[in-house]
Structures are given as C-alpha cells and as structure tokens.
Structure 1
Amino acid sequence: MTMNERKTIDLEQGWEFMQKGITKLKNILEGLPEPQFSSEDYMMLYTTIYNMCTQKPPHDYSQQLYDKYRESFEEYITSTVLPSLREKHDEFMLRELVKRWANHKIMVRWLSRFFYYLDRYFIARRSLPPLNEVGLTCFRDLVYQELNAKVRDAVISLIDQEREGEQIDRALLKNVLDIFVEIGMGQMDQYENDFEAAMLKDTAAYYSRKASNWILEDSCPDYMLKAEECLRREKERVSHYLHSSSEPKLLEKVQNELLSVYATQLLEKEHSGCHALLRDDKVEDLSRMFRLFSKITKGLDPVSSIFKQHVTAEGMTLVKQAEDAASNKKAEKKDVVGLQEQVFVRKVIELHDKYLAYVNDCFQNHSLFHKALKEAFEVFCNKGVAGSTSAELLATFCDNILKKGGSEKLSDEAIEETLEKVVKLLAYISDKDLFAEFYRKKLARRLLFDKSANDDHERCILTKLKQQCGGQFTSKMEGMVTDLTLAKENQTSFEEYLSTNPHANPGIDLTVTVLTTGFWPSYKSFDLNLPAEMVNFNFSYFLVISFLPFGKFEPKTMELIVTTYQASALLLFNSSDRLSYSEIMTQLNLSDDDVVRLLHSLSRYAIDASIVRIMKSRKVLGHQQLVMECVEQLGRMFKPDFKAIKKRIEDLITRDYLERDKDNPNMFRYLA
C-alpha cells in the first residue's frame, strides 16, 4: 500500500495501542505474569510511532508523542515508584532504590526503542534532548531530588558502621553510589555535591574523635600502626564502593585528622617519639613514620630536623669520648700515640654507615634526609680532637691503613671499603686543603721510606679523592706516586751500570730518588759537606738518599741502612777512631741543633738493639721494668732519654717486634 493509500491513525487511537505496550512493559518490570515481547510485538509498536510521525499535517503527531513519552515515565514514577520508596527506610529503602533505578533504565531502553523514529528525525531537527536523556531526567527530577539526602545519610551511616568493624553489604553501597554518578549523565556534580562533600565531612569528624583518644592512650608506634591501618582500609573502601575520584580527597581528610593535627605531639612523645625511635634503632617504626609523614604537606621537615639533631648529638658524644680518653692518657702519662684518635675516626665511619643506611632504607633516599645527615656530620666532623684537626685525623687514619705495620690489620677488600668511607667523610670537612697538606706529607714519608704497604691501594684512594674533590686536588699526589715508580726504574738502570763499570763503585750501595720539586712537600736543605766516597756520585737533583754503608765490625760484616746525614757522620769514622762533638760539627758543616738531632738518631739504633735483647731474654715485661733495664744496659755508652725509649718501643710495636697485651696496655710481649 502506498503512502497516499495508508489509513491515517488519529492520536487517541494510536496512543491507546501504544499504552497497551507500555502497560505490558510495566507489568514485566513489576514482576507480574506477562509474556515477554516478541519481535512482532516490538515491530508493531515501532511501526505505529513511525506511521504517526510521518502522516501529513495536521496528522503528524511527533510533538504530542514526544510529550507523551515523558508523561509515561512521570505517571509511572508518581503512581508506583515513589510510594514504594517512601514507605521504606535505611537499608531497605536503599535496596528498593537500586531495584527501581535498574527497572527505570530498562524502561528507558525499551521505550526509546519503540519511539526510535522520534530520536532520528524530530529531535535532531528541533534540537531537543534525546529520548534517553528525557527518561533519566524524569527519575532525577522526581525520585532523586526527593530522596538524595535520605539516601546520602543512610549510606554514610553504613560506612561508619563498617569503620566500627561491622559487616555491611558493600555491593549494595556500590550500586547506590553508581546512581549518584549515573544520574549526572557524564557530570560528577550530583556525586560530589549531594554525597561526597557530606561523606568527607563525616570522615573528618569520625577520625577526629578517634585521634583525640588514641593520642592520649597510645605510644607513637602504636598510633602510627593504627593510622596506617585506617589509611589502608579507606583506600580499600574506595576500591569496593566509592568512586575512584574520591580516593585522594578521602585520604587527605584521614591524614589531616590523624597526622597533621597531631604531628608535633606524635613526633615529640616522651618515651616513644622520633627521638626515642632513633635512640632505640626502631628501623621499622621509623620507616612507617617516613611513609606516613611523607603524605602530609611539609610533614617530613620536623622528622628530618629531629634526625639531624640526633645524629649531631651522637657525633658530639664521640668527640667528647675521644677528648676525655685523650686527657686521661695525658693525666696517666701513657703514651698511646694517636690510638685514641684512630678509634675516634673508626667510630665516626661506623656512625656514618649506620645513619646512611637509615637514609637509604627507612627514609627512602629522600633528599631532605641526605641534607640532614650532611649538616649533622659537618658539625662534629669539623671539631677535631685533642688538639688535632679533623683533616689531620683523617690523613693519619689513612696513613695507618696504607703504611706497612699500621695499626689497622685489614684484608685488601676491607681496606678499599674503608678508604671509600674515609673519602666520603672528607666531603664534610670544611678545610679540605689542610687534609691535602697532611696527606701529602704522610704520603711522602710512606713513599720515601718504603713504608707503603701496597701501590694499588695508594692509587685506589687517589682515584676516589679525585672523584670527590677534582683533579686539581690530587695532581701533586699522583705526581709523587709516579716519581717513585720512575725512581725504581732509574735505580735498576743505575745498579746495572755499576755492575758493568766496577771502577765507578766506591764501596757503598747508593739509592737515589729523583723527585719533581713542585709535587713534594718542601724540605729544609743544608750545605752538608759530603765525604769523598759520596762526592764521586754526581746527580742533578735529589731530595732523599738512603745509604747502605759497610763498616768492618769483627768478626763479621754488619749491614746498616741509614739516611744521608747518618751515613755522612758514620763515614767520618772510616778515617778516625775518635771524634769530638765540635770536630763532627765542623767536618759536616752542620749547626749545633742538627748535630744533636743526628747523634740522637744514631743512638736510637742502640736503644732498639737493647730493647730487643732484653725482650728476647724476658719474653714478657712491664713498661716500667723495660725502660729501667734499657737505661741500665745503655748507661755504659750514654744516658738515653726516657721519651726516646718510649718512642722506640712504639716503633718496634709497629714493626712487629713487640706487641701490647690486649688486657694491659702497659705490658709488652716479644714476637719472635
């Protein structure tokens, strides 16, 4: 049948047919016995609307049908939906609302299909809201507007019940809160204004009540455990039924009430606050403190400040201990040279290891805590101990590790590790140039007197110093090590030369170390009159010469290893049996002080020999007895100085001839 032949459907007749379909749909939604829609039913309803919208005016009923579509919802809501909701309360009302919203969405979907032709043409031409939107707006204006406050209160009440440990129907809450989101049709206004704002206010009030009790009853660690658990549960709450956009706002409320409000009280709790946790090494609690306080604005500032105070105090305690020990040693006139300072540096390294681990682990490498650690160490690392600056203490500590027979007996790996740590400490020293000066002097002694235990370690620390302080800082030191390497090669060539030219050999073994002036510490130079045996050797520049002169001591040859000055003095006796003090002074062209120092240095060999002889026969001996026996033995040749004897004992200990008793430092044992 063509368009012109089609029978015109008037509005009343057509709507009556449509209403039968709508009633059937309502019955299905109400759960009444009603057969489902067949495709024929659906097509008949769709076609009726199509026909009523495509008839020639005045029989085009598009506008009237659009209005009746909305009225169908309004009528159903007013007659059936609202009464069923008004009679129910609390959880029952929520269940009914969820059911009614689900049904309403089904009704919108079906009616939108029946009236589909309106959506395609009429609405587009008139710029009217689409059918789906009209259907949802009806529910919003009639049901949601009336009930949202009651619904909100019921939901918040359930959330608080859950916070108190009761089991609630989380799925129900999820469905209710989805209504707040969906009713906004793409906007979050309804969820945020009608539910979330009140929920956040209630959350703040709830945790404010809790916190005011906990802060009085609980220790800081217990309080933090509760706070962390509350935050975890609130986060879980979001994942189960709140909208994900609520999470940051919700956590912010909880953090504010539990942490921000009580931050100072919590951190400064007398027996369990931050100070106490640091004092008692409560690593887990400190980690928790960091996690919690990192979430609140400027929350870490007071924690890092307390950390800095604590580390500073610990460091100052070490300084005081070292000072006290040093003054006790002076009072008791014990000569434990530098031992206490060595212990001090070792303890500072241990302190740094400990609190650097705290920064890395408990405080997750946070820059604020690195800064606090740095500032704390800068305070006490620049104090110095017993008249020695920190720069000197560190240089001496390195010297002890790097020289042969030093007091630090460590494996290669431990040495490298310790040097690494010393260089880290150097970062806190304000006068790094002073360290460089001390270090160079001690390096010079190690290199020139062949006291360095290991070339690799010497180079290793220079590399570390270079990384820490730059190339400028280590260039001279590197030059010194290079000089020694070249000197060893020169000495080998020199010895080869002497072996092939026997006429050039004056009967003494000569070791010359040629050094680059700019690299080495400056040494005092003298116009020493060299003996004839030495003058034959012509070197352009030298600073230190070690001689191996051979004097004839019956019945066998004795080998002496001595310095340039000592060799010069001894060689004078090759042509004289006896020499007066003034003769030695004149022949060597030295000052009064220098001759005294020189003769003292030669007498020390006699002291060494005497101490070793006594200890060899006695095996174990007290300090006082050893000194007295030494004075008695040497009295026939000269009167030795007590200080000189003490110094020689220390030197023999570092050279492993003697050792101190572990329990009594005034008792010595001979090492075969």
Structure 2
Amino acid sequence: MTFHLHTMSKSIEAVHGASFLEELNTKWNDHTKALQMILDILMYMDRTFIPSTHKTAVHELRLNLWGDNVIHSSKIQPRLLNTLLDLILRERTGEVINRGLMRNIIKMLMDLGPSVYQEDFEKPFLEVSAEFYRAESLEFIECSDCGDYLKKAERRLNEGIERVSHYLDAKTEVKITNAVEKEMIANHMPRLVHMENSGLVKMLLDDKFEDLARIYNLFRRVPDGLSTIRDVMTSHIRDTGKQLVIDPEKSKNPVEFVDTLLEKRDKYDRIISLAFSNDKTFQMP
C-alpha cells in the first residue's frame, strides 16, 4: 500500500501547471474507490477483530496513509497550499475558477480530519485573507467616498460567505467574515463616518436611505459600530437644533419654528424606521 501511494505521489508531483489539482483529485478518487473495495472485503474484520484488538480501522488507516504519503509529501504540501490560495486570489480579482474542483480538494482535506483542514489550509487562508482585505481597504479608502467604500466592503463580505457555501467548510464562514469585518469595517469606522461630503452627516442631510441602511447593516456587525453611528447622529441632531434656536428669522415666527422642529423629528424617525430597522439604539425620546 505504501509503495502504491509513493507511486501515486510521484505521478502527482510530475504534473505541472493547472493540471496539478486535477491529477491530485483523480488519484484521490482512485485511492478512495480502491480502498472502498478493500473495506467491503474486510468489512467483517473491521467490525469485529479490529475493535477487540484496538487496531486502526481500515477507513482511518487509508486516510492516514494518504495524508502521510501524498498530502504531506514535501513536494506536494506547499504546492497544494499555494495553488489553492492563488486560485482564491484570482477569484477575488474577478477571474472565474473551477469551484467544483476546489470543492473536491477542500473536501479531501476535510475528510483527512479537522486538524489537516485547519493547519494545512484554513489557518494560512485566513492569514492571507486578512492581509488582502487590509491592503485593499487602505488603498480603496484613499480613492473612494463613504458610500462606494461601504459597497465594496459589503461585496467582499458577501463574496466570503458565498465562497464558503461553494467550497469551504461551513465553520470557516464566521472566521472569514470576522476578517472582513475587522479589516474593512472596524478599523476604519471613525474615518468613514466623518468623511467630508460623503460621511454619515451628509447621508443624513441628503436622506440617502440606501447608504444609511448599508452603514447600519455593516457597522452593527462590529463592536462599537452602532454606538459610533449613534454618537455622530446625536451630535448632528443637537447641532441642527441649536442652529434653529439661534436663527433670528425662525424666532420671529413661532408656528414656523415648531413646524420645522416637527419636520426634523419626522425626518429622523423615518431614517430610524426605514434605514435602521427601528433599532432601539437610535430611538429618540
């Protein structure tokens, strides 16, 4: 068995370019089918003899042998990781990749055990992803207004969730979304809300309900996100009220003054209702 796996490993190592993953997937499928036939033959022994002697089950043994002799081969392991990460980077930059093949390879790693998936792929994937989102956020925030930046962050968040649904372990979803939230949202909240001519105050003044809903839905995902919105909004409302009070023209007509105050209250009630989902964080007395 070990000799056979060494032969398979050499065959995989010899393949260059895009066919590397395809060859690995083919050999894994061949190995799985062959071992299933052996397992069928040894089914009785696997159920009776092995448990009583505390030996390794045939199914577990074939996974261990594949991992030791193929996946953890010094020439395959780093190449496999780099290939997977490169394909994900290509997908992030707009290229269409073979998601079915990615799903098969990732599932193979998952079948080899949680530690194999996590150490051989998930951990470096999350590290590289955090670096990617960090660099992209720093670049994009310099050339975008608040609304466009939020759309970019929302798109990256949705792409990460979609990627998990197509070919990653479901448990990876919360980890990759945390990376997007930290690098693209949490680290830039003060700058985003205070962006000149496009930040939160501008959104409030111009009744940009779509942008307001987006900033609410993104900021609510991170610590202190809603309080950041609330503090800026509260300050803006207070400033607006002060300007009305000290406006000599408004004070000449009490009815107009009261009507203006009621209009402002209705305006922010609509924003809280339509954009902020009636969140009690923003309820005004």
- Give the TM interval when normalised to the shorter protein: over 0.9
The answer for unaligned runs of 5 or more in structure 1 is 1-72, 330-339, 375-672
Deviation at 1:125, TM superposition (A): 2.4
In the other structure, the counterpart of 1:408 is: none
Deviation track 1:283-309 (CA, whole Å, cap 9, x = no partner) reads: 211111111111111112111111101
Deviation at 1:221, TM superposition (A): 0.7
Alpha-carbon distance between aligned partners in 1 of 2:48 and 2:267, rounded to the nearest angstrom:
77
Q: Which amino acid aligns with 1:346?
A: D
1:325–1:343 CA distance, 2 compared to 1 (3 A): closer
Alpha-carbon distance between aligned partners in 2 of 1:158 and 1:249, rounded to the nearest angstrom:
19
Match of 2:3 among 75, 90, 101: 75
In the other structure, the counterpart of 2:86 is: 157
**Corresponding position: 1:133 with 2:46:** no
**Corresponding position: 1:307 with 2:225:** no
The 5-angstrom pairing of residues 375-524 of structure 1 reads none
Deviation at 1:324, TM superposition (A): 4.2
The 5-angstrom pairing of residues 44-83 of structure 1 reads 73-78=1-6, 80-83=7-10
Report the structure number with the largest CA radius of gyration. 1
Alpha-carbon distance between aligned partners in 1 of 2:90 and 2:169, rounded to the nearest angstrom:
19
**Corresponding position: 1:96 with 2:23:** yes
In the other structure, the counterpart of 1:294 is: 220
In the other structure, the counterpart of 2:270 is: 357
Deviation track 1:102-135 (CA, whole Å, cap 9, x = no partner) reads: 1111111111222334224321321212222222
Deviation at 1:205, TM superposition (A): 1.1
Q: Which amino acid aligns with 2:107?
A: D
Deviation track 1:8-33 (CA, whole Å, cap 9, x = no partner) reads: xxxxxxxxxxxxxxxxxxxxxxxxxx
Match of 2:254 among 341, 353, 358: 341
In the other structure, the counterpart of 1:559 is: none
RMSD of aligned C-alpha atoms?
1.6
Match of 1:114 among 26, 41, 56: 41
Give 1 or 2: higher strand fraction.
1
Alpha-carbon distance between aligned partners in 2 of 1:325 and 1:160, rounded to the nearest angstrom:
58
Deviation at 1:196, TM superposition (A): 0.6
Match of 2:163 among 237, 244, 247: 237
In the other structure, the counterpart of 2:153 is: 227
In the other structure, the counterpart of 1:551 is: none
In the other structure, the counterpart of 2:112 is: 183
Deviation at 1:325, TM superposition (A): 4.6
TM-score where L is the length of structure 2: 0.94
Tell me if structure 2 keeps the 8 A contact 1:108–1:136.
Answer: no
**Corresponding position: 1:256 with 2:185:** no
Alpha-carbon distance between aligned partners in 2 of 1:178 and 1:266, rounded to the nearest angstrom:
39
Q: Which amino acid aligns with 1:254?
A: V
Q: Which amino acid aligns with 1:158?
A: L
In the other structure, the counterpart of 1:619 is: none
TM-score where L is the length of structure 1: 0.41
Q: Which amino acid aligns with 2:30?
A: N
Match of 1:368 among 276, 281, 285: 281
Deviation at 1:181, TM superposition (A): 0.3
**Corresponding position: 1:275 with 2:201:** yes
Alpha-carbon distance between aligned partners in 1 of 2:250 and 2:121, rounded to the nearest angstrom:
69
Give me the identity figure in percent: 30
Q: Which amino acid aligns with 1:277?
A: M
Deviation track 1:635-670 (CA, whole Å, cap 9, x = no partner) reads: xxxxxxxxxxxxxxxxxxxxxxxxxxxxxxxxxxxx
Give 1 or 2: higher helix fraction.
2
Tell me if structure 2 keeps the 8 A contact 1:90–1:154.
Answer: no
Does the residue aligned with 1:262 lie in a helix, a strand or coil? helix
Higher relative contact order (CA 8 A, sep 6+): 2
The 5-angstrom pairing of residues 490-569 of structure 1 reads none
Alpha-carbon distance between aligned partners in 2 of 1:121 and 1:223, rounded to the nearest angstrom:
61
Deviation at 1:279, TM superposition (A): 1.8
1:113–1:325 CA distance, 2 compared to 1 (3 A): closer
Does the residue aligned with 1:261 lie in a helix, a strand or coil? helix
Does the residue aligned with 2:72 lie in a helix, a strand or coil? helix
Does the residue aligned with 1:244 lie in a helix, a strand or coil? coil
The answer for unaligned runs of 5 or more in structure 2 is none
Alpha-carbon distance between aligned partners in 2 of 1:244 and 1:89, rounded to the nearest angstrom:
31
Deviation at 1:237, TM superposition (A): 1.0
Does the residue aligned with 2:48 lie in a helix, a strand or coil? helix
In the other structure, the counterpart of 1:437 is: none
Deviation at 1:346, TM superposition (A): 2.3
Alpha-carbon distance between aligned partners in 2 of 1:132 and 1:283, rounded to the nearest angstrom:
56
Deviation track 1:436-487 (CA, whole Å, cap 9, x = no partner) reads: xxxxxxxxxxxxxxxxxxxxxxxxxxxxxxxxxxxxxxxxxxxxxxxxxxxx
Tell me if structure 2 keeps the 8 A contact 1:277–1:285.
Answer: yes
Q: Which amino acid aligns with 1:110?
A: M
Which moves more between the two structures, 170-179 or 263-272? 263-272
